[in-house]
Amino acid sequence: MEVLIDIVLLSLLVATAVALVMVRGLIASIMLTSVYGLLSASFFVTMGAVDVAFTEAAVGAGVSPLLLLFTVAVIGRKERAPEGGAVLVKSLLLVVVTGALLIVGTLDMPPFGSPDAPAQTHVAPYYLQQSGAEIGIPNVVTSVLASYRAYDTLGEVLVIFTAGVAVILILASSSHRGSARLRNATVPDGSPHTILQVVGKILIPFILLFAFYVQFHGEYGPGGGFQAGVIFASGVILYGLLFGLPTVCRVLPPPVMEVLAALGVLIFGLTGVMSLLNGAPFLDYSVLADDPVTAQHIGIMVIELGVGITVASVITAIYYAFANQLEPGPN
């Protein structure tokens, strides 16, 4: 049964990818991307990777198509016919060679799904067996993410922070006129989407509430700071789409988002520095409380909070930056 689902999902994935290669026009491409994200999220579920599936659904089928749509709204949806001739031949050749190398590489691999593969026997068992005692939370993914490999996660938060800085740097017009306009703008009267606005007003509180649930339930089930941040941000974005950019900017002004983004990283980083100041290695939570397991709990809670804050505010800030392009300023 599992094999069957597997085959079906993989076939669908291939079909989507092939369609992406064939299709012309950006809107269609974006929709297919979104489908691809959803399908891969489903595939991750069948593979037992629920946390990843959650994230992929939020990002691959949510944020990423959204950003693409914003871009297309600015630049238009047309796509020229693909290049033929030499470019095509060269690309095909490169792809075939790379693919062949990959196939050759797979030949000496341990079989798919084998429990005896080195990946399953070397480091991972330690996490599965010890994390219960050492960290004391059921979700092993969260244990690894937030404690064993917390430094990677700090890097991840920094990547997101960097993306925020980069997008603002790239999109900010040379003066701050854009965001000043945002702050001073008034709510537009009489929006045409009354039904959507009403439904939205009902939905948004639940979305935000769900975000908090995901944030703090991450230790027990799938979820965590990153997913929570994405969900929170999508609530904000929904609000912005329905009621206009100026409204949402008055609630959550862009400069505040920038400060929050930095603060989230700092919360994470300074937690690590706390350990450092107490003579323990960076990000060693054991100094946070007397009982090591409690200390792990506190540490994970705090850094997940940092992750959530940064992710939510960076995604919101990126949304602002893109949406700002949609309504060209006086210059």
Indicate which single residue of 5, 198, 251, 259 sits in contact with another protein (rule: CB under 8 A): 259
Indicate which single residue of 109, 187, 198, 209 sits in contact with another protein (rule: CB under 8 A): 109
- Asked whether position 6 contacts another protein by CB under 8 A, the answer is yes
Indicate which single residue of 42, 127, 214, 288 sits in contact with another protein (rule: CB under 8 A): 127
Distance CA 320, CA 50 (A): 30
Using the minimum distance from each CB to another protein, give the nearer residue, 47 or 196: 47
Distance CA 272, CA 252 (A): 29
Q: Rounded to the nearest whole angstrom, what is the least distance from the CB of residue 192 to another protein in the complex?
A: 26
Half-sphere exposure of 98 (CA within 13 A, CB side): 6
For 166-207, give the DSSP string: HHHHHHS-SSTHHHHHHHH--PPSS-S-HHHHHHHHHHHHHH
- Asked whether position 269 contacts another protein by CB under 8 A, the answer is yes
Using the minimum distance from each CB to another protein, give the nearer residue, 90 or 201: 90
Q: Rounded to the nearest whole angstrom, what is the least distance from the CB of residue 214 to another protein in the complex?
A: 13
Using the minimum distance from each CB to another protein, give the nearer residue, 101 or 202: 101
Q: Of 206-235, which residues contact another protein (CB under 8 A)?
A: 220-222, 226
Indicate which single residue of 35, 72, 301, 305 sits in contact with another protein (rule: CB under 8 A): 72
Q: Rounded to the nearest whole angstrom, what is the least distance from the CB of residue 185 to another protein in the complex?
A: 19
Tokens of 311: 């992710």
Q: Which residues contact 7 (CB under 8 A, 6 or more apart)?
A: none
Q: Is 104 left (phi over 0), alpha (psi -120 to 50) or beta?
A: alpha
Contact 53, 88 (CB under 8 A): no
Angle 232-156-299 from CA coordinates, rounded to 5°: 75
Using the minimum distance from each CB to another protein, give the nearer residue, 209 or 326: 326
Using the minimum distance from each CB to another protein, give the nearer residue, 33 or 247: 33
- Asked whether position 162 contacts another protein by CB under 8 A, the answer is yes
- Residues 11-50 as x/- pattern, contact with another protein by CB under 8 A: --xx--xx-xx----x--xx--x--xx--x--xx--xxxx
Query: Which of the 8 DSSP states describes residue 111?
Result: P
Using the minimum distance from each CB to another protein, give the nearer residue, 118 or 205: 118
Using the minimum distance from each CB to another protein, give the nearer residue, 29 or 243: 29
3-state secondary structure of 312: helix
Q: Is 123 left (phi over 0), alpha (psi -120 to 50) or beta?
A: alpha
Distance CA 148, CA 281 (A): 13
Among residues 158, 150, 146, the alpha carbon closest in space to that of 264 is found at 158
Contact 265, 306 (CB under 8 A): yes
Indicate which single residue of 35, 42, 153, 182 sits in contact with another protein (rule: CB under 8 A): 153
Q: Of 85-104, which residues contact another protein (CB under 8 A)?
A: 87-88, 91-92, 94-96, 98-99, 101-104
Q: Of 173-192, which residues contact another protein (CB under 8 A)?
A: 174-176
By CB under 8 A, the count of residues binding another protein is 142
Using the minimum distance from each CB to another protein, give the nearer residue, 128 or 198: 128
